[in-house]
Structure 1
């Protein structure tokens, strides 16, 4: 009987699948996130095929770009990157700290910091306030809820915040307040409006990123030093 090389490769392929499965399920939520994303993309593809809405699906992935003004929106993109930095490092540092001291003040502070900033980021990126206002919910009421959340956050964690170089954090929230106030007042001058709304937000995000970078760096080093102690 003629020898078939394909059968020699089957055991290697099976071991490769076992290795792939082992690595795939090593990282928490990796399988779940990939499966949900594939289901979402598959659902969109099926919808586009059945409803002939390929152009609508394409718009979901389109990049905002103006060939006449390639710099258009560049600072908005920078702001979105800066939004992600404190959320990511707070969530990561909380994950590190919770392994040994899940109920420590720093771990809880970083968890709620990541949660609060993530809500603000989602609102800013997906225009949630604008969507809710078009559904009949007052913009002032939404901002009142956000302001109350910030005050509650500050009141709850003020003792911990005082142990950190908190000036950038306070400055960031004040700048956010100016940005939201200008959004309500809506100045007639486009340049003034852009600087007071988006310029202050960019400066606020820069201060937030630097503040949480410093705090998280300090907490990670403290955690490592504690683990090295006999």
Structure 2
């Protein structure tokens, strides 16, 4: 299967460490960088029930491999988790290609619809107070670069210090991750070294009205 995926020009990354992070960590790795996640047939249903909800929170497309065709009862038990496809371990190249195309296209369309119908107030509902201040400053710049000093002054109402400059890096990273979980790309907030940050113009294709 790995060879088939590589034949489609997919970069394949196999990791048990990431699996352990999903199972045992409250802050697992960010799955939004991956177009597709294939869960091994060696995972138990109990492990799936712990892993899949964490992945679906980040809009992951999930395939579950099996050795023998699972009975309908087993599929039914796991249906509510949101597994997109059940695939045999020995799957034909053509079939795998079409399944990936179908599922990733459907997911992308669903994300677009969600973003188009979600208001800015709903989008920022889960942001912390400082994340909202940072986001507001970036949004109002309409894609222009905002310096780190300007952001510090806007967020903490004070001249930038070494401490709040360090906090700003953490703040923008967490804000970027929250936006990615909403379906935006990893470059939605871009860092321009030596200058500051700016909101990718991708954002303004969905949200046109000023942020309040």
Give the alignment's TM-score, normalised by structure 2: 0.26
When you count strand as a share of all residues, which structure comes out higher?
2
TM-score relative to the length of structure 1? 0.25
Say which structure, 1 or 2, has more relative contact order (CA 8 Å, 6+ apart). Answer: 1
If you compute each CA radius of gyration, which structure gives the higher value, 1 or 2? 1
Q: As a proportion of its length, which structure holds more helix?
A: 1
